Amino acid sequence: MKRILCTLALAGLAATAVHAQKSAAVLAIEEYRAMLADGNPAELFEAKGEDLWKQKRGPKNASLEQCDLGQGPGVVKAVFVTLPRYFADTNKVQDLESRLVTCMETLQGFDAADIAKTPFGKGEQNNVTALATWIAAESRDMKFNLPQTHAKEQVAYEIGKRLFFQRGGAHDFSCASCHGADNWRIRLQDLPNLTKNPGDGVGFAAWPAYRVSNGQMWSMQLRLNDCYRQQRFPYPGFGSDATVALGVYLGVNSQGSKSIAPAIKR
């Protein structure tokens, strides 16, 4: 038997052309991302989420298979590209994660407020992220088509737009400070212009995504939460109306763009 000592260089691979002109740097990063995309660990979370959906859990010992994500109870295929949307039973516009938490409360008997308070990456939040990853994957390559017929959906869009441009915090930042024009970046990360449609698989259409640098699966809620952290704002509540409204704004702007979620990020 031959013994091979395997050293995986993957995680330590650095983009070397950092200081070259932008095009070379961008090419190097793209090559690095392409290498990572083959074997995206998001698949592990997809498998876990699919399992969780069917598993009987919680105080009521029920599965989530009767959960209505907008296309009727139990329908998972193609729902992600229509969220956030208005739900009559809760009389609220909800995104995928806040809707999942509603289902976990009504069907499985979990305490929604308790889950919302749990930090990302801990306890039930891990399960919400895995479920969201799988459900997003069930809409891979489909085009965003958020409904804007209900009055609350239209209001959410307007609120999201205002929040996007609202400046505040210690640095007087807004979302638009970084995502308000084309070809901006932070260090080496290209920043999509989210005031218009950024195109297939960019911005709203790229999350949930696996972050290689910290080995974490990031949902849209965590993405928004971290954007606010970087702006030095207080953390927005998990599944709060503000984060959902921002989701509506970004999602409607991405109308017709393909979702590549779950994606892979640096």
For another protein, the binding residue among 17, 24, 47, 142 (CB under 8 A) is: 47
Tell me the Cα Rg of the chain: 19
**Using rule CB under 8 A, residue 37 touches another protein:** no
Local structure of 223: helix, strand or coil: helix
The whole-angstrom separation of Cα 154 and Cα 140 is 26
> Between 38 and 89, whose beta carbon lies closer to another protein?
38
The whole-angstrom separation of Cα 145 and Cα 81 is 6
- Give the active site residues: 227
> Between 48 and 258, whose beta carbon lies closer to another protein?
48
CB 214, min distance to another protein, A:
8
**Using rule CB under 8 A, residue 27 touches another protein:** no
CB 258, min distance to another protein, A:
23
- The contact mask relative to another protein for 192-221 (x = CB under 8 A, - = no) is --------------------x--x------
**Using rule CB under 8 A, residue 5 touches another protein:** yes
The whole-angstrom separation of Cα 100 and Cα 132 is 8
For another protein, the binding residue among 14, 19, 21, 38 (CB under 8 A) is: 38
The whole-angstrom separation of Cα 252 and Cα 61 is 36
The whole-angstrom separation of Cα 54 and Cα 63 is 5
**Using rule CB under 8 A, residue 109 touches another protein:** no
- The H or E element spanning position 196 is none
At 264, give phi and psi (nearest 5°): -130, 135
Instruction: Give the interface size with another protein as a residue count (CB under 8 A).
Output: 19
Determine the residue type at 117: K
Piece in contact with another protein (CB under 8 A), picked from 8-16, 67-75, 83-91, 159-167? 8-16
For another protein, the binding residue among 28, 29, 32, 43 (CB under 8 A) is: 43
**Using rule CB under 8 A, residue 237 touches another protein:** no
Angle at the Cα of 46 from the Cα atoms of 56 and 79, rounded to 5 degrees: 85
> Between 52 and 67, whose beta carbon lies closer to another protein?
52
Q: By the 8 A CB rule, do 225 and 118 touch?
A: no
- Sheet containing 263-265: order of strands: 216-218, 209-211, 263-265
Residues in contact with another protein by CB under 8 A are 1-8, 10-11, 38-39, 41, 43-44, 47-48, 212, 215
